[in-house]
Structure 1
């Protein structure tokens, strides 16, 4: 049997996820967003943390509760673990429903993010485009959500995003065509979500809007964490100054099969 964790249980999960290099995990462990499930409320030995589509497992994978947790998923999940034992268990439990691929971690060092370099990138905004900080007007615009449904999806509401989140958007002819926001938040910073309308790609807009967001975070003493979903994301991150640390296994699980 599994149980949803409360604030008291959350503190007990810190050692279990200590080796998980993810700011999204921190966003739950520090009490900002997400949920967790465990096998025991008093002395958990296995746990699941979920923030949006991202799901993380830690603890003992060789238990009945671990299998129950592995089946405690939404229709579509990106599952991340840090041991071969967990990977083997995932591949067994979800055989025929998984796609395994690489994501990319970067060193989390603000020294790598040079302000002058980022300001130079920001200055390349093409004529006819404007960049604005995300406010209530932008966050309520249909074109903002058409670019990506995940710009504010982890927050309790739009007001919650305005209160706790941060973002920048590029507009062309009054339409939002690219944006970078805080997908998630943790004590020391944010995890970046970035997307561009398919008709406006290859114009450098993602580089520009990301530069604005990163500069704002640096001004606030916060770190804008980058986790790459594909080689294109890695290229963009390196252009901004991030240094690649490693690739890591990620499982896309289609629970509708």
Structure 2
């Protein structure tokens, strides 16, 4: 497997999946992430890492058993060694193609495999905005970033890390994505960020600081975000694991429609 640096792989359709914008956007070169392929000139299998997801996706398909053998060697001899050196003790992944998934699970048949389903939802119609009086809901535009960099807010990393790890630069974020924040006094206490985009679908990352949870901020931010997506002709996609009951309740309350579920795997390395 070879790592791709700043290369658009959008012409390789077998590596792209319209229902997986978090990873397809990285493969297509629309957002930031790491990509390794079996063959730079004609890739059939790709390993993609997303900062926002915090895991890997295996994309593409091939009937060549040597590709899978080489892929396993790459993982054990290189990637797992690098992960361990960084203090990472498990490998988390999903597989976009069912036939590829069967091959990958056979490769890891000797591992103590864990599995949980990830649920995906989408929405592409307007919400009725519900205001929360004690908080300010603010779009992340160029003026907001100027204020952020000027030190107006106390916890800038809560937002900036998500934007830069997903898009590389603020300019790329403005060109491709959307974000909103909830502020309380001088603090950013909740964020909703489009962390990836493939075609006209944007993946959502949303988080609220612990002491401000259960006050409706996630729901309010989602309303603003979705309405902005509709205005721009975009579709919001919300992915969450089955065990995250709070996230599932919020997305269903916000009127998102269930689209699919797929397994997510992990094992110790």
- Give me the TM-score of the superposition, normalised by structure 1: 0.79
Which residue number corresponds to residue 47 of structure 1?
46
* Residue 237 of structure 1 pairs with residue 240 of structure 2: no
Distance in structure 2 (CA, Å) of the matches to 1:86 and 1:21: 21
Which residue number corresponds to residue 88 of structure 1?
105
- Maintained 8 Å contact 1:151/1:193: no
Distance in structure 1 (CA, Å) of the matches to 2:19 and 2:42: 23
1:221 deviates by: 1.0
Distance in structure 2 (CA, Å) of the matches to 1:26 and 1:240: 25
- Maintained 8 Å contact 1:180/1:209: yes
1:61-115 CA deviation, whole Å, 9 max, x = no partner? Answer: 843222135443643654111424145146337x25x542221122x462xx3x2
1:206 deviates by: 0.4
- Maintained 8 Å contact 1:47/1:69: no
Instruction: Identify unmatched segments of 5+ residues in structure 2.
Output: none
Distance in structure 2 (CA, Å) of the matches to 1:224 and 1:44: 29
Which residue number corresponds to residue 100 of structure 1?
115
Which residue number corresponds to residue 61 of structure 2?
59
- Residues 76-225 of structure 1 aligned to structure 2 (within 5 Å): 78-81=92-95, 82-83=97-98, 84-89=101-106, 91-92=108-109, 95-96=111-112, 99-106=114-121, 108=122, 110=124, 113=125, 115=126, 118-119=127-128, 122-125=129-132, 127-134=133-140, 135-136=144-145, 137-138=147-148, 141-146=153-158, 149-225=161-237
1:211 deviates by: 0.9
- Maintained 8 Å contact 1:177/1:200: yes
Please give the root-mean-square deviation of Cα atoms over the aligned residues, in Å.
3.0
- Maintained 8 Å contact 2:3/2:34: yes
Count of residue pairs the alignment pairs up: 242
Which residue number corresponds to residue 30 of structure 1?
28
- Maintained 8 Å contact 2:14/2:61: no
Instruction: Identify unmatched segments of 5+ residues in structure 1.
Output: none
Bigger CA drift: 139-148 or 205-214?
A: 139-148
1:143-187 CA deviation, whole Å, 9 max, x = no partner? Answer: 243479535421213454345432111111221111101111233
